[in-house]
Amino acid sequence: MATIVLAHGAWSAAWAWKKMRPLFRGAGHEFFSPTYTGLGERAHLSNPEIDLSTHINDVAAVLDFEDLKDVTLIGHSYGGMVATGVADKARRRIARVVYLDAFAPKDGESLFDLVGPQAAENMLGKAKGEGGGWRVPAMPMPPDTAPADVSWATPRRRSQPLKSFEQKIRLQSTEPLSRHYIYAKKAGRAMCSASSANAPRARRAGSTTRSTPATIRTSPARRT
């Protein structure tokens, strides 16, 4: 049995992984998917001061209060930023980190650094406009998302606090940690911009990330 903790993506929350819970339970695993402050069922706590550190602390606190050990920590998309910080902060509780189409930052990098200037400028513009200066409205879901899933997810998605994308991560731990990168592709193309931005970096850092349509393989990666 594995203990699995998920760091979810931007605009999302624990609800987005509802369909995975019975699958993990059926396989005998414990599965935790903490919702970040300001999103999902915690949207009422949203405020301009929420940043990446807030979300890292959200997940790290679950590890502490649940006394979780030997954890497989999964970071999805923006959650790779969070998972990287959690692994640094709570190293003794983490057995491995799995980046699932996720951003894999180095020390001193923000999500805006990784998405590139054009994407960052677009999100900043939306925040300054309809986001009241501090919220980034949810981006459209992938065009191949099933209509039923779009109808289910859209009213649940919430604007992301801008500072969570702006803050640069600070890493201190030098202890080695098993890291894996899953680069998902469909019909021969990347399914997520985080994959196309970070899988090549993972390979350069020493991991071998391979994927084919409908088949995903991963191998250990050194710290990126």
| pLDDT of amino acid 25 | 94
Pairing of strands 94-100, 178-182: parallel
Q: Looking at the predicted structure, is the pLDDT value of residue 82 above 90? A: yes
Q: Choose the weakest-confidence range: 14-18, 155-159, 219-223.
A: 219-223
Q: Looking at the predicted structure, is the pLDDT value of residue 221 above 70? A: no
| pLDDT of amino acid 200 | 54
Q: Choose the weakest-confidence range: 18-22, 158-162, 166-170, 204-208.
A: 204-208
Q: 18 or 207: which carries more pLDDT confidence?
A: 18
Give the domains, in start order, of the chain with CATH numbers.
3-221 (3.40.50.1820)
Q: Choose the weakest-confidence range: 57-66, 77-86, 149-158, 207-216.
A: 207-216
Considering the chain, what percentage of its residues have pLDDT values greater than 70?
A: 83
Residues involved in catalysis: 77
- Mean pLDDT of all residues in the chain? 87
Q: Looking at the predicted structure, is the pLDDT value of residue 204 above 60? A: no
Q: Choose the weakest-confidence range: 72-76, 131-135, 218-222.
A: 218-222
Task: Please tell me the distance from the alpha carbon of residue 179 to that of residue 98, in angstroms, as a whole number.
Answer: 6
| pLDDT of amino acid 220 | 36
Q: 215 or 76: which carries more pLDDT confidence?
A: 76
Q: What is the pTM of this model?
A: 0.86
| pLDDT of amino acid 202 | 52
Q: Choose the weakest-confidence range: 17-26, 131-140, 180-189.
A: 180-189
